[in-house]
């Protein structure tokens, strides 16, 4: 192998991967790992999971032919290698930047991204759809789906597996890189795995079956007897194989970082012509020592050039909850596989008996919390806005309808440019605004977050507290809390209320985008005041507070929010203000995401890209 030889830069199509000599695959894998480390360090992103999936992804593209064969990755954060092997190496430097390569599979980006996956546990259902569609069309194309043991904790995976058919051209690859879900461990299982990975094993197996099947009189009964004995012996040694009971031919477990072994089993699975499960075991962070030693820390990385903030809302939430839990033993915390991301690591260590990580099962998390609340506890569900969408029915049916005091702490509210549309938290205000009896808090500072959490836990009603990724804005703190925080949750003016009649325009806003409103107010040639909402629901209550702070004279009133327009704060509060005739004679407009998913088509600040920056705000104030 030539030390300076490069293959990655020559791959323009996945078919090029097949042309690389088998003995040179380790070189390709090494090149890919170095590219991943360099790029993710600079741009941020998911590193450890992609490093572990290098050989597995190479093997997939050496056996199958994308896009004719469909390759689907669960969650999608482990698809970077796939992108490199499907003609996107030249653009890989734009990973996770506006208008560049997405950090997740994206159908509009490449024909090789068969299905967009940004949330866990959806891939098997989608793969089943592809396989059934090919069957109905008479196509012999294969669908290959890679999903991890973490995604396996999501209920949708089980629902999809339950609908499998044996004759589908469907190959599911269970990539186990953390927890064990199989009894197939130990030296015996490893020996069997090695034997099954050899091509000779399958040749002998097929020859034996063919011989017995064609043996007159005794052949078929003898085959059935041997098959029955084999199943019984296998069950005794392994235990029942869940996947084979669901109609899948099971292969593995196999070392997923051994490309030759994985490739061999994939070829055999393809030759079988049946629905198969290939169980692989990979090492997160493979080939990069820091990520191997601390895979969780390198799961999702911020760009290296970014300076770390003094704090963030996630940590402020975790600290506040831990402090309140000292005073009330009924307080408990629930997360759906996001302990670190939601700031609950300290709580989990301090109160292990009151902390529950339910895995990637958001629906279960909410209804589980409802059960805790119904029996007298005070559950707090910490969850990303984009993932809360998955549990909407549970919020309505299991929490709100029964008026149970579950507190939802909604992290990553608003736009999240690096992870893109699948992780924007832009819908929660709209769908929570329609939930009867639920209170909705929107703190813009750490102190107001703690205050909202304390109040929400003290009231015997469902409540939600939403806050953005990252830290508080010092300008927002200074503008709306010049004398420090107090215990009251209310509408905060940036101006002296006694001088409200001097204003030409008022911006009504909440959350992180208040910072952009402040920029616009400073640059405007008009006198602009800003009202910061710490609470949205009930809107009728907030409308009375806002009305008391609006000038009586004609002026412009702009509702500004970092969420969708339809059903959002602007529409809801405007309607509530109109009910009390508080907007008569005023020029009213709403600035929000009018349609779409907040796609960032250019490499520029996200607010500018979606039309919510200070320049657009200024135009609305004219």
| Catalytic annotation, residues | 284, 362, 390
Cα–Cα dist 353/382, whole Å? 17
CA end-to-end distance (rounded Å), the chain: 67
Of 380, 379, 376, 388, nearest to 413 (Cα)? 388
Instruction: For residue 340, report the phi and psi dihedrals to the nearest 5 degrees.
Output: -70, -45
Pair 165, 192: CB distance under 8 Å: no
Of 163, 185, 140, 383, nearest to 279 (Cα)? 185
Pair 7, 24: CB distance under 8 Å: yes
SS3 330: coil
**H or E element that contains 129:** helix 123-137
Instruction: For residue 87, report the phi and psi dihedrals to the nearest 5 degrees.
Output: 85, 15
Cα–Cα dist 276/351, whole Å? 42
Q: How far is CA 2 from CA 26, 27, 213, 408, 577, in A?
A: 12, 9, 50, 56, 73
**H or E element that contains 333:** strand 331-335
Cα–Cα dist 127/492, whole Å? 50
Q: Which residue has the tokens 């608003």?
A: 414
SS3 218: coil
- The backbone region for 247, taken as left when phi is positive above 0, alpha when psi lies in -120 to 50, beta otherwise, is left
**Across the strands, what pairs with 439?**
463
Q: How far is CA 364 from CA 122, 215, 298, 334, 370, in A?
A: 16, 54, 28, 10, 10
Cα–Cα dist 168/128, whole Å? 8
């Amino acid at each position: 192998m030539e030390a300076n030889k490069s293959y990655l830069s020559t791959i323009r199509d996945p078919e090029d991967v097949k042309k690389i000599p088998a003995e040179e695959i380790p070189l390709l894998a090494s090149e890919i790992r170095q590219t991943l480390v360099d790029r993710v360090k600079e741009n941020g992103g998911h590193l450890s999971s992609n490093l572990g999936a290098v050989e597995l992804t190479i093997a997939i593209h050496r056996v199958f032919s994308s896009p004719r064969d469909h390759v689907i990755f669960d969650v999608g954060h482990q698809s970077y290698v796939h992108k490199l092997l499907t003609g996107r190496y030249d653009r890989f430097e734009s990973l996770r930047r506006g208008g560049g390569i997405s950090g997740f599979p994206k159908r509009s980006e490449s024909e090789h991204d068969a299905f967009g996956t940004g949330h866990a546990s959806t891939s098997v259902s989608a793969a089943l759809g592809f396989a059934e569609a090919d069957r109905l069309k008479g196509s012999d194309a294969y669908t290959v789906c890679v999903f991890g043991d973490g995604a396996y904790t999501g209920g949708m995976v089980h629902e999809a597996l339950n609908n499998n058919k044996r004759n589908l051209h469907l190959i599911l690859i269970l990539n186990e890189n953390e927890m064990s879900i199989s009894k197939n461990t130990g030296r015996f299982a490893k020996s069997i795995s090695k034997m099954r990975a050899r091509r000779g094993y399958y040749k002998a197996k097929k020859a034996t079956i063919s011989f017995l099947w064609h043996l007159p009189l005794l052949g078929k009964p003898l085959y059935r007897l041997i098959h029955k004995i084999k199943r019984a012996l296998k069950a005794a040694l392994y235990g029942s194989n869940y996947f084979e009971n669901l109609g899948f031919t099971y292969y593995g477990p196999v070392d997923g970082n051994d490309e030759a072994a994985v490739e061999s089993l994939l070829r055999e699975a393809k030759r079988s012509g049946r629905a198969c499960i290939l169980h692989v075991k990979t090492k997160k962070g493979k080939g990069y020592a820091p990520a191997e030693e601390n895979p969780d820390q390198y799961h999702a990385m911020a760009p290296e050039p970014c300076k770390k903030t003094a704090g963030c809302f996630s940590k402020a939430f975790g600290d506040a909850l831990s402090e309140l839990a000292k005073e009330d033993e009924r307080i408990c915390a629930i997360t759906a596989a996001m302990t670190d991301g939601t700031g609950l690591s300290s709580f989990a260590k301090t109160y292990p008996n009151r902390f529950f990580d339910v895995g990637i099962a958001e629906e279960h998390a909410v209804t589980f919390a409802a059960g805790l609340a119904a029996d007298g506890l005070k559950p707090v569900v910490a969850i990303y806005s984009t993932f809360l969408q998955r549990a909407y029915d549970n919020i309505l049916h299991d929490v709100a309808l029964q008026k149970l005091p579950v507190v939802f702490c909604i992290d990553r509210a608003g736009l999240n440019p690096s992870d893109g549309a699948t992780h924007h938290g832009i819908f929660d205000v709209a769908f929570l605004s329609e939930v009867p009896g639920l209170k909705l808090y929107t703190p813009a500072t750490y102190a107001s977050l703690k205050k909202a959490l304390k109040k929400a836990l003290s009231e015997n009603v469902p409540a939600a507290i939403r806050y953005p990724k990252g830290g508080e804005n010092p300008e927002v703190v200074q503008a709306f809390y010049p004398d420090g925080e107090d215990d009251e949750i209310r509408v905060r003016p940036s101006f002296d209320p006694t001088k409200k009649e001097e204003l030409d325009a008022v911006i009504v806003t909440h959350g992180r985008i208040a910072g952009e409103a402040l920029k616009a107010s400073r640059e405007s040639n008009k006198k602009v005041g800003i009202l910061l909402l710490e609470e949205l629901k009930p809107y009728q209550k907030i409308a009375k507070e806002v009305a008391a702070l609006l000038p009586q004279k004609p002026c412009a009133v702009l509702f500004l929010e970092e969420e969708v327009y339809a059903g959002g704060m602007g529409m809801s509060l405007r309607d509530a203000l109109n009910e009390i005739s508080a907007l008569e004679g005023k020029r009213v407009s709403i600035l929000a995401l009018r349609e779409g998913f907040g796609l960032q088509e250019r490499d520029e600040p996200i607010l500018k890209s979606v039309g919510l920056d200070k320049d657009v705000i200024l135009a609305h104030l004219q």
